[in-house]
């Protein structure tokens, strides 16, 4: 091997390893982002560490009808103690103390934005437009009866019972 090809060989090796470093760095960044958002989505809004457990799901929708006005309406809930007929207005959400809960809210009202708040558990959705939805994970960490409500429509309210 003469001097010139040796130099070329070294240079191409360096370029290759630089590319590898960039690829590894990019992979690390991507994995970190995935882990960060994964951890964040597993962290209850009233907790500070991720919880690896299946939550009790409650599905609720915001609706409007000329008869009942703006209301929260039961969409469907997990089976058993928390099951309510679909379409039930201002459903009471029943949870067990200490359990992980996920509330899934969807706005099915074409006429207005809505949000859902449970102050006791730091649950606050964004103002959701038509057919926007948001899920919030929280821990039902205290027993009692707590209101949930929409800040835009004071008449939209219900109760969360933790027992
Ligand atoms: Cu509302």
The domain that holds 92 is classified in CATH as 2.60.40.420
Neighbour count for residue 111 (Cβ, 10 Å): 9
Decide if 117 is inside a domain: yes
Q: Show the tokens assigned to 37.
A: 């958002």
Distance 69 CA to ligand 1 centre (A): 10
Q: State the pLDDT at residue 133.
A: 96
Ligand 1 centroid from CA 18, angstroms: 55
pLDDT at 78: 47
Distance 139 CA to ligand 1 centre (A): 24
Question: Does 10 fall in a domain?
Answer: no
Question: For position 19, what pLDDT does the model report?
Answer: 85
36 CA from centroid of ligand 1 (Å): 32
Q: Is residue 8 part of a domain?
A: no
- pLDDT computed for residue 5 by the predictor: 55
Q: What is the pLDDT of residues 17-52, one digit of tens each?
A: 888 889 999 999 999 998 888 888 889 999 988 888
For residue 21, tell me if it sits in a domain.
Answer: no
The domain of 150 spans 56-162
Residue 84 lies in a domain: yes
Whether residue 14 lies inside any domain: the answer is: no
Q: What is the pLDDT of residues 111-132, one digit of tens each?
A: 999 999 999 999 999 999 999 9
89 by Cβ neighbours in 10 Å (0-12 / 13-18 / 19+) ranks as middle
Q: Does 49 map to a domain?
A: no
Number of domains in the chain: 1
Contact criterion met (CB below 8 Å) for 102 and 43: no
Q: What tens digit of pLDDT does each residue of 44-54 get?
A: 999 988 888 89
* Structural domain contains residue 15: no
């Amino acid at each position: 091997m003469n001097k010139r090809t040796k130099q070329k060989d070294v240079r191409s090796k360096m370029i290759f390893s630089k590319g590898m470093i960039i690829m590894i760095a990019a992979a690390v960044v991507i994995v970190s982002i995935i882990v960060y958002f994964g951890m964040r989505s597993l962290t209850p809004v009233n907790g500070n560490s991720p919880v690896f457990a299946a939550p009790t799901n409650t599905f609720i929708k915001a609706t409007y009808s000329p008869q009942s006005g703006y209301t929260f309406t039961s969409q469907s809930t997990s089976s058993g103690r928390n099951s309510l007929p679909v379409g039930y207005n201002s459903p009471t959400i029943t949870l067990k103390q200490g359990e992980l809960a996920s509330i899934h809210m969807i706005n099915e009202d074409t006429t207005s934005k809505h949000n859902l708040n449970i102050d006791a558990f730091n649950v606050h959705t964004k103002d959701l437009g038509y057919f926007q939805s948001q899920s919030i994970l929280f821990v039902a960490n205290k027993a009692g009866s707590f209101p949930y409500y929409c800040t835009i429509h004071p008449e939209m309210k219900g109760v969360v019972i933790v027992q």
